[in-house]
Amino acid sequence: MSKSSRLATHCASLADCRMCGHASEVRPIVSHAVSPKVMLVGQAPGKVEISSGKPFAGRAGATLFRWIARAGVSEEIARRSIYIAAITRCYPGRSPSGRGDRVPSPAERDACAVWLDAELRIIRPALLIPVGRLAITRFLPNQPLDELIGQSHQVEHAGGTSLAIPLPHPSGASSWIHQDDHQQLLERALGLIAPELRRLGVTADSSTRSVA
């Protein structure tokens, strides 16, 4: 079976997953990328993704796609070419603190890991972009983000080895991006991602502005 067929079969099974027993309107959010060589891994979908059915469809997604546009690729092309996964695929609900969404529980993360591992095995991504601490520490050591963002890393996972270039979480609930020289680290990360996307044929369109 071709990689595209295996990915299509995988996505159909993922869309039907109910392992965590979420409310009936909460469904797994599935990427629709075609023949991807790049994977982006976020934390978990938000409420807005339930109605849109697309990953990173809300305000955090708008910020993320602005960043990716600065690496030379429009949202439309990114959604078509980059497989957007997450640590968990179902909306976890609001945080008990009232600030942002609930962080998926360890049990939910463990349950959902089978889907991520399967995607890594099917796609064997040349480039992996973990977004936010939860996704970053899935692949990289649990160090301060300042020591990880703005650098390239070789990482091993269920699908082999990938170049990983982490990004901070684009949610307004994350204050990391506003501290110290973190904006420079973000720019450095986008400057590393841009040539990798070009090398892998994830090409710009005329509406984007490249940082490298």
For 98, residues 6+ apart whose C-beta sits below 8 A from its C-beta are: none
- The CA distances from residue 63 to 18, 22, 56, 123, in Å, are 30, 27, 9, 26
Residue 19 within binding range of ligand SF4, rule CB under 6 A? yes
User: Residue 90, interface with ligand SF4 (CB under 6 A)?
Assistant: yes
Spell 146-166 as b/e; 16+ CB within 10 A means b: eebbbeebebebebeebbbbb
Phi and psi, residue 75, nearest 5°: -60, -45
Does 48 help bind ligand SF4 (rule: CB under 6 A)? no
* Alpha carbon distance 115, 48 (integer Å): 22
Does position 85 bind ligand SF4 by CB under 6 A?
no
* CB nearer to ligand SF4: pick between 48 and 111: 111
Please count the residues of this chain forming the interface with ligand SF4, following the rule CB under 6 A.
13
> In the structure encoding, which two tokens stand for residue 161, read together?
């080895």
Q: Contacts with ligand SF4 in 115-134 (CB under 6 A)? A: 115
Q: Is 112 in the site for ligand SF4 (CB under 6 A)?
A: yes
Separation between Cα atoms, residue 198 and residue 122, nearest integer Å:
22
CB-nearer residue toward ligand SF4: 27 or 70: 27
Query: Considering the rule CB under 6 A, would residue 108 count as an interface residue with ligand SF4?
Result: yes
Comparing CB distances to ligand SF4, the nearer of 29 and 165 is 29
Choosing from 8, 48, 50, 111, the residue that interacts with ligand SF4 (CB under 6 A) is 111
CB of 55 to ligand SF4, least distance (A): 12
Bridge partner list, 156: 161
Task: Establish if 31 lies at the interface with ligand SF4 (CB under 6 A).
Answer: no
28 binds ligand SF4 (CB under 6 A): yes
Among 3, 9, 13, 18, binds ligand SF4 (CB under 6 A): 18
> In this structure, are residues 43 and 109 in contact, taking their beta carbons and an 8 Å threshold?
no
Q: Can you give the binding site for ligand SF4, defined by CB under 6 A?
A: 17-20, 22, 28, 88-90, 108, 111-112, 115
